[in-house]
Chain A
Amino acid sequence: MPAFLNIFKKKVSINLPKDPAILLSIIVIWFFLLLFVLFPLSKIFILTFEKSGHFTLTNVLEILGKRNHLQAFWNSLLLATLVGLSGTVLGFFFAFTSVRSNLSKAWSKFIDGTIILPLISPPFTTAIAMIFSFGRRGLITYNLLGINTFNVYGLHSVLFAETITFFPIAYLTLKGVLSGIDPTVEDMAFSLGSSRGRVFKTITLPLAIPGLANSFLLLFAASLADFATPLILAGSRFPLLPTEAFLQITGLFDIRGGAVLSFILLVPAFSVFVLQRYWVSRKYYVTITGKAGAQTQIKSITSRTGKVFLTVCILISILILYFYVLLFYASIVKAFGANYQITLKHYIVVFTEGLKAIKDTLFIATIGMLLGGVYGVVVGYLVSKKTFISRSAMEIVSMINYSLPGTIVGIAYLVAFNNPPIMITGTAIIIIACYVFRYGATGIRTTVAILQQIDPSIEEASFSLGANAITTFKRITIPLILPGLFSGLGVVFIRSMTAISATIFLISINWTLITVRILDKMTELELGVAAAFSTLVVVIVFIVIIFINLFLRLFRGPGAIDMSNILGG
């Protein structure tokens, strides 16, 4: 038969996997996705657009009618844009220095180590440190510079704090992008007589543009969703959406209002998600060879400029370190700002009164980590290795809770699960579910990335030798994606330890979290205890990261992905 007639042979059929294990997994995963992702979101939709039984826009208009809320909307967009810009620039600066200026191993490790700190910290750390440093009796403004009138609350402080907190994300993204640019391309330009500035302008920068755009979007989204820092630093004259949504619910017992506000937040957040997925990722420019070639002499920065850049980077890293040292110091003095006697009493409070929160948080983080890790691997495997109907839908839906600001997810869960048919507010399950379906998505992405690098013929060989799907999965796939599993576990654990924006709505008399206790203590002005809790979280998370890195090094397989890259995404 002529070959071209083959197209008529293809029938459009529903693509169902034949293996019952796979089919079952898909059904189970969809069940959970529907329950824990789509159902809560639909409740927010309904609350926003429904009144007395029919569709209406009055809820939205009523909320937007309030001057404070409209202001909050514009402020959030403004802040997010500024943070996106400043964070990307700073991150690019760091990345460029790190990749292009031949840093010694020691400096490289120092910068990488410090950069990680803001990513793994509990919320409020930068905010607390800033109040201690720049408040009216702050260490830097009052004690050092004698300035009495600096107002630490407002846009400038939030911008500064968020830039410091989020620019590591830009750094990690851009570092990857810049290292992926083959230096031989730049060398070619040099050999053709280009000046350094010209090479930067015409070669390096254009190749980095998708990375810059991606960074900007990541930072924009992070700032948009940031609830903790503005709560402390924004002050009453600079309202922001996540904080307004929170105050609407917790202060004014207006759940509908909070839902509407968080829905408004959804609009820019969703645009970012769409832009990232369908525009930036399509445009990653691949250099000619596609791989980093031999390490030729990189001449893009003179050694003098390199030293200057390095100094600036080190200064900024020291600033970051200073915040953490300050935090620790505040946790061991009696009353920062008044009484500098060294004391352990804050830690005693943490380990007596706060023990319940510590146990609860560790318990939830651990269970969440295990479930989240498994979820990430299973979904990642299904979505990248198996074709079935609704595959891309599953991929997108699984990313939804991760892409949305935590406030939205938290409110959605509160609204969805507080009434029949499913009432799980007040339990650990609701908090665990929130973490699993939010941060497990990172595990999915990592698994997908790793699996894309594994040659499918390995699995085919297994099948051809008679193994079924489960055996193959167990004995071939799992060992290969183990690094991904561990990083996924690590991320869920770390994010669970440090999250607050979603779960602040979900704590109850039975289950409380360290991050919420930190906020409580800050509100009650027991700043020493808040600092002690924060230090504890940083220490725990750091230890876990070290363990995970140890595991990763033990099991280094193909496509072993660096821990820091996971945190960045």
Chain B
Amino acid sequence: MISIKKSFIVLFMTLIFSLVLVWFVGEMNIPGQAAEEVNAYSIWPENWARPMFEEFEKATGIHVNFIRFSSGEALARVIAEKSNPQVDVLFGGPVETHSAGIAEGVFEVYKPVTYNELESRFKDADGYWVGIADDPLVFMSNAGFLKEKNLNPPASWDDLLDPAYKDMIQMADARTSGTAVTRIFTILQVFDRDEAKAFEYMKKLRANVQVYTKSGGGGTIPVGLGQAGAGIFFIVDALKTQQEGYDVVVSFPKEGIGTSVEAIALLKGAKNPELGKKLIDWASSPAMQNLFAEYQINFIPAHPDVEIEPSLAAVIEGANIFPIDSDWAGENRKRIVDEWIEKVLP
């Protein structure tokens, strides 16, 4: 029979259990009950999105609920949720993502207050998205690796084909990452949109690739640690790695490298459109972009009134950076990515 001691234990455990359960239910912030809340999918990594959203809340009192997805995933989600959008804003991410989304009819036109102040490159002609930052791609290599192999930092696309880099390059997977898509369209641009030549190059490059990472910045730490020798990343990810103390070198190819606008867009059918618009207003203005320097977020601001932070300006000085034609990229994203999967990935 169950002794007193045993029933005590049972009772005690049940008590703990119920207390814990009650605590949970009590603590549960049922969404919508708090002060004004807006929902967003952020393509920016949490470490940058979070401080920006906190500043937004400080400035406006509106709380931002967000999840981070890489650009492919975010786009997939938004399209899947078309009939019942779960968020109001798609925050950040290379603009090819947003262009592709326009075709799927997931965005709502909204021109924020700063619309006319922005360069034409940083806004959609119809008003579906606006740019909040500019993000060039860069080559990033591990200094120790370069020394060991007696190499200079890669200064040309052809440098990466060097057999010294065999199995030592990490780059993003185009199925999930906007970095990869930007990279592919950059390469297409470098070869003057000659798809045959561009894919030929990419196939040759593939021989040196150790692994295609799920997210754009996925290869940065391996390069930082020396697990990989080099990679192609957005400048934000590369400089972050450098700032964290990893021994890496940033370089640019002489043939040119692309830059992608980071954009923001309002979702069609958003549940909190007014709050979403406020977020877009704030993000596309100096109010947010002046904070980049303070939080060491190495994006180049999109708004013309915001100065580029001096050390960042020094890095890109003299580099051959060209903008990607985002409309063309958006229209052809699926086709090009499919081709990459078929020809280059295996």
Contact = CB atoms under 8 A, between A and B. Distances in A.
B5 to A, nearest CB: 10
Contact of B211 (A137, A235, A512, A525): A235
Nearest to A356: B29
A547 B20 CA distance: 15
A254 B176 CA distance: 12
A255 B72 contact: no
Contacts of B27: 359
B28 interface: yes
B293 to A, nearest CB: 22
A525 B87 contact: no
A236 B345 contact: yes
Interface in B213-231: 214-215, 217-218, 220-222, 224-228
A71 B346 contact: yes
B2 to A, nearest CB: 7
B227 A68 contact: no
Interface stretch (B76-84, B252-260, B278-286, B319-327): B76-84
Contact of B212 (A236, A335, A510, A551): A236
B80 A524 contact: no
Contacts of A426: 81, 84, 86
B96 interface: no
Interface in B64-91: 65-70, 72-73, 75-77, 79-81, 83-84, 86-87
B86 to A, nearest CB: 5
A236 B209 contact: yes
B161 interface: no
Contacts of B345: 68, 236
Given A247-B176, A362-B24, A252 B45 contact: no
B70 to A, nearest CB: 7
A338 B28 contact: no
Interface residues of A, number: 53
B9 A255 contact: no
A339 B245 CA distance: 10
A522 B307 CA distance: 34
Given A252-B175, A366-B21, A554 B9 contact: yes
Contact of B31 (A362, A419, A510): A510
B27 to A, nearest CB: 7
Contact of B13 (A248, A366, A547): A547
Contact of B225 (A137, A252, A255, A425): A137
A359 B27 CA distance: 9
B16 to A, nearest CB: 10
B76 A249 contact: yes
A136 B227 contact: yes
Interface string A354-371: 000001001100100000
Interface residues of B, number: 65
A53 B133 CA distance: 45
Interface string A56-86: 0000000000111001000000000000000
Given A253-B75, A426-B86, A507-B67, A524 B211 contact: no
B226 A136 contact: yes
Nearest to A519: B214
A454 to B, nearest CB: 20
A253 to B, nearest CB: 4
Interface in A414-450: 414, 418-420, 423, 425-426
A235 B212 CA distance: 7
Given A67-B346, A137-B226, A251-B76, A153 B210 contact: yes
Given A251-B73, A253-B72, A554 B215 contact: no
Nearest to A250: B73
A524 B225 contact: no
Contacts of A339: 245
B214 to A, nearest CB: 5
B291 interface: no
B203 to A, nearest CB: 13
Given A363-B24, A509-B65, A524-B217, A250 B176 contact: yes
A520 interface: yes
Contacts of B41: 509
Given A68-B342, A525-B220, A250 B45 contact: no
A151 interface: yes
User: For B21, B31, B210, B341, which residue has the most chain A Cβ atoms within 10 angstroms?
Assistant: B341
Contacts of B28: 359, 363
Interface in A135-155: 135-137, 149, 151, 153
Contacts of B141: none
Contact of A512 (B67, B227, B228, B346): B67
Interface string A487-523: 0000000000000000000011110100000001001
A251 B175 contact: yes
B167 interface: yes
B175 A137 contact: no
Contacts of A508: 67, 86
B134 to A, nearest CB: 22
B53 to A, nearest CB: 12
Given A253-B75, A509-B86, A554-B9, A338 B246 contact: yes
8 contacts: A136-B226, A237-B346, A250-B77, A253-B80, A366-B21, A509-B41, A509-B87, A523-B215
Given A419-B84, A509-B41, A554-B6, 10 more contacts: A231-B214, A250-B69, A251-B70, A418-B81, A426-B81, A509-B39, A510-B65, A523-B214, A523-B218, A527-B221
